[in-house]
């Protein structure tokens, strides 16, 4: 499989004319690639060291508004610069764009060159380092679900987001005939990403009209988050190239099922799966039980990082495969946490709470922090639940609204300890702003419901 490029290889390829453009990117709070398009010669001669960006980029919403209330940056502070420091281990071709390579950056303080604490990549690196100090590595896989539409992004926007036509006419779960009809878009997505060094496993039709899933092989947590961000970007970009649109909204229509990003997790020690104990029930080691106990106990605290928008909470509905309860079960898709690969070296936990709109760095960091807490406190895992978990009255609930999730985030002593007050305060503000914007807007639904009849 073609992999990432070394810096030396990139220099050679730029000299021979293979690349003329390098995308220098970082991942923002919303999980988007932001950055600049460099002439490749400039990048290999100077900008590989560092470049700069306005520090508002880690304090905006999806529409690039500049909300007040962030300690890190503001109009008052003058919106200065951050350093974008290319991580030269992430250089890779971008095969779906002509003559183009890409690199991901870490975000550093302009003056101290220290990592900016609320940068998503820094947040994940911190939890990985904590886990390494305990002697473990995390392997993760984040599934990407999304909807494809017949129309292009621009056509949909110009139509006021009306009459959106999903690319298929029926539920296409595991459907080979229907997905053959979508190969014009999905095949280039799989093959271009593979050629960009992402270990693509497969794509499949999902359980709704026009819904797709893309699976990438599990990898060390940071690589997994990098892969997810690049793949999500590529899905939209390649769909656009083919005159189509793709959305990662958790719930694009109230009558359709939502899109998830399930996160598979396992810990390893010296290259061996540390979650596996051949002689233990279900093959689950004590370490795995402690990790899962932390993951489940603190799920309400970190739900915001799995569901960051008002829209995300509309996905959590009974009987839709989107979970509402903080319990685990063995290969049961109605629980928030599902044991997979039981009794084998591949034993792992899948968190099913996250929506397709999650930021993979933040989601993984929060779950690692919860797992670490479970290990440190040797927390006890309750027995697995069985049956339809939606109807389990004793099971704990995940916060059902952004407002509630914001409260649990703000008040989480555990996350404040694990991530730092500055990080929790920063994302609490992001969550509040999202709610404030929503509360301010009068929606079409309210008008249609009440215009004549109220």
> Can you give the binding site for ligand ADP, defined by CB under 6 A?
139-141, 201, 215, 217-218, 264-266, 346, 348
37, β-bridge pairs: 23
Distance (Å, rounded) from C-alpha 258 to C-alpha 281? Answer: 34
Sign, CA dihedral 10-14-18-19, equals positive
Pick the closer one to ligand ADP by CB: 161 or 174. Answer: 174
Pick the closer one to ligand ADP by CB: 201 or 392. Answer: 201
Distance (Å, rounded) from C-alpha 71 to C-alpha 10? Answer: 39
Q: Cβ of residue 377: shortest distance to ligand ADP, in angstroms?
A: 23
Q: Cβ of residue 203: shortest distance to ligand ADP, in angstroms?
A: 12
Pick the closer one to ligand ADP by CB: 348 or 429. Answer: 348
Pick the closer one to ligand ADP by CB: 142 or 324. Answer: 142
Q: Cβ of residue 215: shortest distance to ligand ADP, in angstroms?
A: 4
Q: Which two tokens stand for residue 296?
A: 């489940």
Q: Cβ of residue 33: shortest distance to ligand ADP, in angstroms?
A: 22
Q: Cβ of residue 119: shortest distance to ligand ADP, in angstroms?
A: 25
Q: What angle do CA 340, 341, 344 make, to 5 degrees?
A: 150
Pick the closer one to ligand ADP by CB: 265 or 312. Answer: 265
Pick the closer one to ligand ADP by CB: 97 or 274. Answer: 274
Label the pairing between strands 144-149 and 211-216: antiparallel
Pick the closer one to ligand ADP by CB: 91 or 284. Answer: 284
Q: Which two tokens stand for residue 114?
A: 């220290």
Q: Which two tokens stand for residue 149?
A: 């539409």
Return the number of other C-beta atoms located less than 10 Å from residue 193's C-beta: 25
Q: Cβ of residue 104: shortest distance to ligand ADP, in angstroms?
A: 21
Report the first-to-last Cα separation within the chain, whole angstroms. Answer: 62
Q: What angle do CA 181, 186, 189 make, to 5 degrees?
A: 165
For 56-119, what is the HEC assignment? HHHCCCCCCCCCCCCCCCCCCCCCCEEEEEECHHHCEECCCCCCEEEEEEEEEECCCCCECCCC
Strands in 40-149 per DSSP E: 51-54, 81-86, 92-93, 100-109, 137-142, 144-149
Q: Cβ of residue 266: shortest distance to ligand ADP, in angstroms?
A: 3
Q: Cβ of residue 375: shortest distance to ligand ADP, in angstroms?
A: 17
Structural contact between residues 309 and 438, judged by C-beta atoms closer than 8 angstroms: no
Pick the closer one to ligand ADP by CB: 72 or 320. Answer: 320
- CA torsion, ordered 10, 13, 17, 21, to nearest 10 deg: -20
Distance (Å, rounded) from C-alpha 230 to C-alpha 75? Answer: 31
Phi and psi (nearest 5°) for 408?
Answer: -70, -35
Q: Cβ of residue 254: shortest distance to ligand ADP, in angstroms?
A: 27
Pick the closer one to ligand ADP by CB: 59 or 139. Answer: 139
């Amino acid at each position: 499989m073609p992999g990432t490029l070394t810096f030396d290889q990139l220099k050679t390829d730029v000299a021979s004319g293979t690349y003329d453009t390098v995308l220098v990117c970082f991942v923002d709070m919303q999980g988007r690639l932001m950055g600049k398009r460099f002439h490749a010669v400039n990048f290999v001669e100077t900008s590989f060291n560092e470049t700069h960006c306005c520090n508002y980029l880690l304090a905006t919403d999806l529409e690039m508004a500049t909300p007040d209330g962030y300690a890190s940056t503001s109009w008052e502070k003058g919106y200065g610069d951050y350093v974008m420091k290319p991580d030269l281990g992430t250089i890779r071709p971008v095969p779906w764009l002509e003559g183009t390579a890409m690199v991901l950056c870490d975000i550093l303080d302009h003056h101290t060159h220290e990592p900016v604490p609320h940068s998503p990549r820094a947040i994940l690196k911190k939890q990985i380092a904590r886990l390494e100090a305990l002697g473990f590595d995390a392997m993760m896989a984040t599934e990407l679900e999304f909807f494809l539409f017949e129309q292009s992004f621009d056509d949909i926007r110009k139509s006021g987001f009306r009459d959106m036509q999903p690319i298929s006419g029926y539920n296409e779960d595991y459907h080979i005939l229907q997905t053959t009809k979508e190969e014009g878009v999905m095949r280039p997505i799989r093959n271009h990403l593979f050629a960009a060094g992402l270990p693509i496993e497969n794509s499949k039709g999902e359980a709704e009209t026009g819904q797709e899933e893309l699976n990438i092989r599990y990898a060390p947590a940071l690589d997994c988050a990098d892969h997810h961000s690049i793949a999500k970007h590529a899905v939209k970009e390649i769909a656009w190239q083919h005159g189509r649109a793709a959305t990662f909204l958790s719930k694009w229509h109230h009558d359709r099922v939502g899109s998830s990003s399930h996160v598979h997790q396992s810990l390893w020690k010296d290259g061996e799966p540390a979650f596996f104990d051949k002689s233990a029930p279900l093959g689950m080691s004590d370490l795995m039980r402690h990790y899962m106990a932390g993951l489940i106990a603190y799920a309400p605290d970190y739900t915001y990082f799995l569901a960051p928008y008002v829209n995300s909470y509309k996905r959590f509905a009974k009987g839709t495969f989107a979970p509402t309860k903080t319990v685990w079960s063995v290969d049961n898709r109605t629980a928030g946490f599902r044991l997979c690969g039981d009794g084998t070296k591949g034993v792992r936990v899948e968190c099913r709470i996250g929506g397709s709109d999650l930021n993979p760095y933040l989601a993984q960091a929060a779950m690692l922090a919860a797992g670490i807490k479970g290990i440190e406190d040797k927390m006890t895992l309750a027995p697995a639940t069985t049956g339809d978990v939606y109807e389990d009255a004793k099971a704990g609930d995940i916060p059902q609204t952004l407002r509630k999730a914001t409260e649990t985030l703000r008040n989480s002593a555990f996350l404040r300890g694990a991530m730092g007050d500055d990080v929790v305060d920063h994302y609490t503000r992001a969550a509040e702003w999202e709610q404030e914007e929503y509360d301010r807007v009068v929606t079409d639904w309210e008008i249609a419901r009440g215009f004549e009849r109220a």
